[in-house]
Amino acid sequence: MKAVEIAKKVASGELTARSVVEQHLENIKNLETEVNAFNIVTTEKALEDADQIDARIASGETLGPLAGVPIAVKDNLCTRGLETTCSSKILEGWKPPYNATVIDKLKRADAILIGKTNCDEFAMGSSTENSAFGPTRNPHNLELVPGGSSGGSAAAVAAGFSPLALGSDTGGSIRQPAALCGVVGVKPTYGRVSRYGLVAFASSLDQIGPFAKTVSDAALTLEIISGYDPRDSTSISENSPEITKVLDEGIEGMRIGVIEELSGKGLDGISEDVLLRVEEATKVFSKAGAIVEPASVPASIYGLSAYYVIAPAEASSNLARYDGIRFGPRTEAATTAETMTATRTKGFGDEVKRRIMLGTYALSAGYYDAYYGKSQKVRTLIMNDFAKAYEKFDILISPTAPTTAFPLGEKTTDPMQMYLQDVCTIPSNLAGHPAMSVPFGLGKDGMPIGVQILAPALAEQNMFRAARVLELGNGEISE
């Protein structure tokens, strides 16, 4: 059942919030040991919150738009009094004294937090295998990855553990697992959603967004969590868009560009199945009255290279605070410096250490201009190329991920192959633009494929209108 429908039925008394939560907890009980989507399931608190909602409805109170709807949130979002680990040993046991802004907004909408989801440690990864608490598995095939880094959130929605989930997207960490798990995943415009209370990975790239089974559920959730927050210096002061009201306006006359550089031309590794789905998507858009043509964003082919300098550099700075003194468990040693070293050596996983070292190197004297400075120039080129493309097109499309879900362990020993999983999603993070993945058919292996829809900054409405058309056209394609 859609989140929107659950909220309406709970508000009308047709369903109780408790029965909704109990059903989702039963789903978790039956499958969670196999999927491992959660680090924490908040069983008792979720039932308590559900009872409170039912009591408020019985007293005639008007509730929020997500009344009684269970939601799972990635374990890098701060939850007051509830452990927040980023799936890392170095934060094990840490309970924040405050909520992330998005958590408070969901509570005001009367959503019910059902658990904290597993992820790649500190959101660094593309498969949710880099977790201190074990890998998450794809609900469609338990031998395959769910994508990452927000794989637990994507898997939770796909498995029916919760109708909605939140993740964070630094280089594709919402959209790529959404594609691999067959759900909707949205990265909003940078600054559209407050990052206050999101444990930082790369501050100029991170953005929080929703997962959902349907485009309409994702739109409602984004409306709720969007908006200006004075506690986030990068927060956009402009009013949040009313997305749900425009969902069914269609795309008649909309100009849609297919990004050549991300759709096979000059980019190796994209499977034929994925390219076929993008081609099918263009037919759906054309049938709906859009003008679909090839588009070029030349500098996007350098996005991966620039990202893996910029993101690790920012991670090197952000993760310096985890020293064994201020957060989590400490590994004692003879001196303060040795204690910090021992704590970080024991507390951080291999991928986090790899990226910290990459970033520290890129920022070091003698290499800053050659690597970090040059990567920022490439970032500007990408922004400029997108700007030129959007002079001609209203939205752009591309594959979300190069392939369908791959086997657990297949890429863990080859970081470069893992990094390539985000080759189509990274450019929009570097530009700060919104993008989303919409499920669109299956590959020959029977696994989901997502088509990515990109839009200029603050143009979420057009993006969602196109997503709705694609969602409606999904049932018309041949599998």
**Measured between alpha carbons, how far is 399 from 453 in angstroms, rounded to an integer?**
9
Q: What are phi and psi of 40, to 5 degrees?
A: -140, 135
Q: Which two tokens stand for residue 142?
A: 């338990």
The question of whether 187 is a catalytic residue gets the answer: no
**Measured between alpha carbons, how far is 414 from 431 in angstroms, rounded to an integer?**
27
- What 3-state DSSP class applies to 293? strand
**Measured between alpha carbons, how far is 113 from 106 in angstroms, rounded to an integer?**
9
Residue type for 358, please?
Answer: L
DSSP for 220-278?
A: HHHHHHBS--TT-TT---SPPP--GGGTTS--TT-EEEEEGGGTTTT-TT--HHHHHHH
**Measured between alpha carbons, how far is 30 from 41 in angstroms, rounded to an integer?**
13
- What 3-state DSSP class applies to 341? helix
Q: Is 269 left (phi over 0), alpha (psi -120 to 50) or beta?
A: left
Residue (of 73, 69, 79) closest to 21 by Cα position: 69
The question of whether 173 is a catalytic residue gets the answer: yes
Residue type for 291, please?
Answer: I
Pick the catalytic residue: 87, 127, 149, 398? 149
Residue (of 470, 452, 410, 456) closest to 177 by Cα position: 452
**Measured between alpha carbons, how far is 157 from 189 in angstroms, rounded to an integer?**
23
Pick the catalytic residue: 9, 74, 187, 213? 74
The helix (H) or strand (E) run that includes residue 417 is helix 415-419
Q: Cα separations (Å) of 220 from 3, 165, 427?
A: 9, 12, 26
Q: What are phi and psi of 288, to 5 degrees?
A: -85, 5
Q: Cα separations (Å) of 403 from 23, 267, 273, 410?
A: 33, 13, 8, 13
Pick the catalytic residue: 87, 153, 173, 437? 173
The question of whether 149 is a catalytic residue gets the answer: yes
Please identify every residue annotated as catalytic.
74, 149, 173
